[in-house]
Amino acid sequence: MSQKPSIVPATPSTSPVPTAGQSTSLASRGNLYTIATQQVEKGCKAINIDPSVHAIISQPKNELIINFPVRMDSGDVRMFKGYRVQHNNILGPFKGGIRYHEEANLDEMKALAAWMTYKCALHDIPFGGGKGGIKFNPRSHSKTELERITRRFTHALGSNIGPEWDIPAPDVGTNAQTMVWMMDTYMNVVGATEKNSVRRIVTGKSVTSGGSHGREQATGRGIVHCITEWARENRMNLDGRSFIVQGFGNVGSHTARILSKLGATLVATGDYRGYIANPEGLNAHKLAEHVGATGSVIDYRGGRPITRDEFFGMDCDVFVPAALELELGVHEARLLKAKVVVEGANGPTYPEAEELLLERGIDVIPDILANAGGVIVSYYEWLQNKRSERWDLEEVESRLERRMKRNYALVRDFAEERKMDWRTACYAIGLERIQTNYLERGVFP
Ligand code: NAD
Q: At what angle do helices 218-233 and 250-261 cross, to 10 degrees?
A: 50
**Left if phi > 0, otherwise alpha if psi is -120 to 50, otherwise beta: which for 101?**
beta
> Is residue 172 lining ligand 1, measured as CB closer than 6 Å?
yes
pTM as predicted: 0.94
Asked if residue 371 lies in contact with residue 345, where contact means CB atoms within 8 angstroms, the answer is yes
Using the mean position of ligand 1's atoms as its centre, give its distance from the Cα of residue 252 in Å: 7
DSSP secondary-structure letter at 221? Answer: H
Strand pairing report for 94-101 and 166-170: parallel
- Give the mutation target among 245, 276, 324 for probing the ligand 1 site: most ligand atoms within 8 A of CB: 324
pLDDT in tens, 251-291: 999 999 999 999 999 999 999 999 999 999 999 999 999 99
In one-letter notation, the amino acid at residue 234 is: N
In one-letter notation, the amino acid at residue 147 is: E
Tell me what pLDDT residue 13 has.
35
Three-state SS at 329: coil
Residue nearest to atom 36 of ligand 1 (CA): 345
> Is residue 267 lining ligand 1, measured as CB closer than 6 Å?
no
Q: What is the greatest pairwise CA distance in the chain?
A: 65
Asked if residue 181 lies in contact with residue 147, where contact means CB atoms within 8 angstroms, the answer is yes
Residue 425 CA, distance from chain mean position: 19
Buried b or exposed e, range 317-330, using 16+ CB within 10 angstroms: bbbbbbbbbbbbbb
Asked if residue 113 lies in contact with residue 96, where contact means CB atoms within 8 angstroms, the answer is yes
Tell me what pLDDT residue 29 has.
64
> Is residue 242 lining ligand 1, measured as CB closer than 6 Å?
no
> Is residue 247 lining ligand 1, measured as CB closer than 6 Å?
yes
Three-state SS at 106: helix
> Is residue 324 lining ligand 1, measured as CB closer than 6 Å?
yes
pLDDT in tens, 334-389: 999 999 999 999 999 999 999 999 999 999 999 999 999 999 999 999 999 999 99
Instruction: Name the catalytic one among 61, 95, 119, 131.
Output: 131
Hey, which residues does 98 pair with through a beta bridge?
A: 132, 170
pLDDT in tens, 392-420: 999 999 999 999 999 999 999 999 999 99
Hey, which residues does 246 pair with through a beta bridge?
A: 270, 321
Report the helix count and the strand count for the chain, using DSSP H and E: 15, 12
Using the mean position of ligand 1's atoms as its centre, give its distance from the Cα of residue 131 in Å: 15
CA 170 to ligand 1: nearest atom: 41
> Is residue 183 lining ligand 1, measured as CB closer than 6 Å?
no
CA 348 to ligand 1: nearest atom: 32
CA gap 159, 186 in Å, rounded: 10
Using the mean position of ligand 1's atoms as its centre, give its distance from the Cα of residue 292 in Å: 15
Using the mean position of ligand 1's atoms as its centre, give its distance from the Cα of residue 174 in Å: 10
Tell me what pLDDT residue 226 has.
98
Q: How many CA atoms lie within 13 A of 156 on its CB side?
A: 22
Question: Is there a catalytic annotation at residue 131?
Answer: yes
In one-letter notation, the amino acid at residue 34 is: T
CA 346 to ligand 1: nearest atom: 32
Over 70: is that where the pLDDT of 1 sits?
no
CA gap 160, 154 in Å, rounded: 10
Over 90: is that where the pLDDT of 12 sits?
no
Residue 361 CA, distance from chain mean position: 26
Using the mean position of ligand 1's atoms as its centre, give its distance from the Cα of residue 172 in Å: 5
